[in-house]
Structure 1
């Protein structure tokens, strides 16, 4: 945390951000002096104008939500700081087409935003504009007694309000109806966030009105629950909890009526429809966000399935590595709004928009209804009844074969820590784990008696399937191709001897694997172990000599520069440690298996 690219101290990062946003979006315009982004098409329409704004650092909020069926304009302050009254007034004057239709300003419930936007609302009214303001407050981490004067903070639920009031405006609703809808939604929103750390501000521009400490971070084994989006501290959790335990705690706070100070929305667990929104607070990877979302969906204690599930970065706090969960009670919001039903609210969420910040794809409601939840999953794989095992008439001693396989894999597992250590220095650190995953998969199959050990072709065919399923990355691909080709070549043999094995290995390497990789001896890969082994076994038919050649090839990798894979991007200096040259991890892993197999045969 805290690392940022070097920017000129005089550069206005917020303005640079807005300029790039507008350059990449031909549907919107920018007033640079006021940091106002607006949509000239929607602001010229005969409709209620929807404007939002606040401090920067919460992108895609606010400017990236300017577009059809959402915001007509947005005004940005400095990072974590409200825009000035001059900026806000410029947004109203630029975006409001006719004073008669009126304007709704949507803000998050923070002191600076309420004061600045509220003052402008009053000034605009004095100039003849019809303007209303709605302050979104959905945070459940702030209790009623804790902050009576300010109230709950506005978090990710703000995005839902933007989308619904924006779509209602496009549909031709009146200002009165839209304000009523916004309030009904706001009163039925709950949000709670959790993060592994605070955020840091690039360029140290500005600061939130309450001047939170931007430098404080959580400890190495800590997380925070209920922190704000301006680095306001939350409740520290130590050690970092398991995700399901954390989510159960979060849902207890979001839904339970036990804590009357923080219980804001009633949910009928059996009957209420609701929207589930999972928000990336900024620094959570897309992969992990969706993993978290799956856990959220499986953990949520409400009986009904969500009517809609929205997953994205909606309201962020720069690069904070966290997420938040928002629930909108559709049933109660629809019952509260005078002119709109819960079905209307859902339709507003579904309306397509060209705003780049609204990333959830719009789908037809019928598609949602027919594909909701687990019904989207195919019950059976097309591979379920497919047995890829190839058999032959070849026979070997099953006990000896089993002993050799176990010895081979055991030696590999014994070497795994060292392989991983080497790979963390010259690769991406996963070689040892990948090989271990394959080894454990095969050993598990052995223990279950699922290998036809008497037939070497059937055994290798099954092992190939196990390797394909359990080993990912380049290593998995290389081993799978080689083993597949080995099975094919071994089928041609009339008996199992060192010479026939040499022929089969040679065919698998030269007519199989080498068709799909340019790796050869000298390239610092597992081929430096494999190719000498195969060449020697074919030429001499002597397993001991072949093992010696394999070891010689593996040892040579300590003096080689990588030419293939991720290690080829590593500098020469990284290939040495205090003990000298570092061997190729893949070559070491393969050598361990070859040596173990030879020892097991004895």
Structure 2
């Protein structure tokens, strides 16, 4: 069972109304009728153009109110969460924006409550002299054809495309569409529209903090609805490429007779691809999903447009949907429909930017940039710095293997006083270095070349603060060693001291006592500089690491935000970064 949590709002608060009030605070171009939950665009002149009105239950934001703006909706009305607005509310939206002479289009998703209430208002408005037409969106291929005969496909993410196309088309001064023309355009978009959704779980309604089990830990749902209607459970959670291919089969395969609604010529058809965040998918994952969707396209041609955002959500459901609009099969010129999609809007819910049409026509080779100039680097050289290749390799391998043996311990410490990935970060760097010298150890014949290669591998494979600290120090060490005439413990100590005080310390305020890797590095280098004794220096570094056990506060990094009591657990927690550096030094010196 999973506890679904929401913030505690005031008793009796209408969260839908609070949402709409918040929306108009951040969108100065719209107005709100609080009593009817109607958001409208006061600047659109519907005495000269057809009005576009839509609405439905709340919980699908930014649909519908977020799409009120230029080249989109003129008004939107919101019901309660997952429930249709009343006829009184819908009529208020119509009368605040519709003009009897120019007419009005009502866009509604194919759900019983919406069809009945918006349909009733449509008929009443006609008796009052309004020229009204209704466009019903039904794009969900999860609903089979047999069921479709009874209730029709549900309207889901494709609704956003219907809104955008007809919302821009009514401003087309060249075409000068009639109300009936716009209805036909909307119906033509819908007839060539297919959508399928997948999610790791469904959603929960704010105000109901309760334990609900929809899907188990290794389950996902395919074809779920946006009102918490269940889909088909699939287990285990599939690989993302396998899932995407399964979704495409439901969208375009003529073999699935029960769900084949739109014909696609996979070799020749032009189409728009829309990838919708159902509410709880992070931007990081949504962009990754876009990449996997495009990598598994069943079409020969690239899509004419790729639109990815949260268009039609189900509050916080952690899922996504794929929508395809077949442009070739429409009864309109492809460039004409694309111009409506590209038409700029100030509606905050329509997040795709308007780009130059020519940019969309670029070939794949122009999407990524690689240049030989980026790889042009000059490796440091100094023929005077000789090194025993075998001894150095033995010490380096001993150092890295000693570190790897302590990764679990380091991550354990970091899970208590940090973010739990210090060991993994160090492991990534150590593994990359070992893999490199396993394939080619020629760099180990030259200390500067070895340091240069190690620094490059650290930069490429170790993220976060520790990766940066190691890279800065190693880079500065290489620069200072390059100036020496020979490699001895003394010249190494001199170069190390300068690398720390004149290099590393320019970019970090971390010093001894700050609970960082510097608690090991600084005493080690200071002792080595004073004595030229590696074992004595190692003892000082070890003492510095042990001293971090007594430090009940971190001055730097994520650990600086940790409650002091956490540092006292298990008899005291040493700094993970200090433990890692000590393992590196200890392994190197003991094997040298």
**TM-aligned CA deviation for residue 448 of structure 1:** 1.6
* Aligned mates of 1:2, 1:25 — CA distance in 2: 30
2:491 to 477, 480, 500: 500
Residues matched between the structures, number: 586
**TM-aligned CA deviation for residue 14 of structure 1:** 0.8
**TM-aligned CA deviation for residue 204 of structure 1:** 4.2
Contact 1:57/1:80 (8 A) holds in 2: yes
1:349 to 341, 344, 351: 341
Give the SS at the match of 2:373: coil
**TM-aligned CA deviation for residue 381 of structure 1:** 5.2
Find the counterpart in structure 1 of residue 159 from structure 2. Answer: 158
Find the counterpart in structure 2 of residue 210 from structure 1. Answer: none
* Aligned mates of 2:449, 2:211 — CA distance in 1: 62
Find the counterpart in structure 1 of residue 503 from structure 2. Answer: 512
**TM-aligned CA deviation for residue 216 of structure 1:** 3.9
**TM-aligned CA deviation for residue 173 of structure 1:** 2.1
* Aligned mates of 1:484, 1:379 — CA distance in 2: 25
Contact 1:214/1:231 (8 A) holds in 2: no
Find the counterpart in structure 1 of residue 528 from structure 2. Answer: 537
Q: Runs of 4+ in structure 1 displaced over 6 angstroms? A: none
2:566 to 574, 578, 602: 574
**TM-aligned CA deviation for residue 388 of structure 1:** 4.1
Find the counterpart in structure 1 of residue 478 from structure 2. Answer: 487
RMSD (Å) for aligned C-alpha atoms: 1.5
**TM-aligned CA deviation for residue 572 of structure 1:** 0.8
TM alignment of 1:263-342, pairs within 5 A? 263-333=260-330, 335=331, 340-342=332-334
Per the alignment, do residues 51 and 373 of structure 1 end up closer, same or farther by CA in structure 2, a change over 3 Å counting? farther
Give the SS at the match of 2:145: coil
Find the counterpart in structure 1 of residue 412 from structure 2. Answer: 421
- Does 1:376 find its partner at 2:378? no
Deviations 1:159-183 (A, max 9, x none): 0000000000111422111111111
Give the SS at the match of 1:287: helix
1:46 to 25, 30, 48: 48
Deviations 1:340-376 (A, max 9, x none): 322211110000001011000001212211x343432
Per the alignment, do residues 389 and 265 of structure 1 end up closer, same or farther by CA in structure 2, a change over 3 Å counting? farther
Find the counterpart in structure 2 of residue 262 from structure 1. Answer: 259
* Aligned mates of 1:398, 1:126 — CA distance in 2: 94
1:20 to 22, 37, 52: 22
TM alignment of 1:119-268, pairs within 5 A? 119-171=120-172, 172-204=176-208, 215-268=212-265
* Aligned mates of 2:442, 2:50 — CA distance in 1: 71
Per the alignment, do residues 391 and 32 of structure 1 end up closer, same or farther by CA in structure 2, a change over 3 Å counting? farther
Find the counterpart in structure 2 of residue 65 from structure 1. Answer: 67
**TM-aligned CA deviation for residue 576 of structure 1:** 3.1
Contact 1:392/1:457 (8 A) holds in 2: no
Contact 2:47/2:102 (8 A) holds in 1: no
TM alignment of 1:351-370, pairs within 5 A? 351-369=343-361
Q: What is the TM-score of this pair, normalised by structure 1?
A: 0.95
Which blocks of at least 5 consecutive residues in structure 1 are unaligned?
A: 206-212
Per the alignment, do residues 557 and 199 of structure 1 end up closer, same or farther by CA in structure 2, a change over 3 Å counting? same
Q: What is the TM-score of this pair, normalised by structure 2?
A: 0.97
**TM-aligned CA deviation for residue 494 of structure 1:** 2.3
* Aligned mates of 2:36, 2:278 — CA distance in 1: 26
* Aligned mates of 2:112, 2:53 — CA distance in 1: 18
* Aligned mates of 2:152, 2:585 — CA distance in 1: 68
TM alignment of 1:399-418, pairs within 5 A? 399-418=390-409
* Aligned mates of 1:173, 1:361 — CA distance in 2: 26
* Aligned mates of 1:599, 1:37 — CA distance in 2: 73
Per the alignment, do residues 373 and 311 of structure 1 end up closer, same or farther by CA in structure 2, a change over 3 Å counting? farther
Contact 2:380/2:482 (8 A) holds in 1: no
Contact 2:133/2:183 (8 A) holds in 1: yes
**TM-aligned CA deviation for residue 147 of structure 1:** 4.7
Deviates more, 1:158-167 or 1:447-456: 447-456
**TM-aligned CA deviation for residue 430 of structure 1:** 1.7
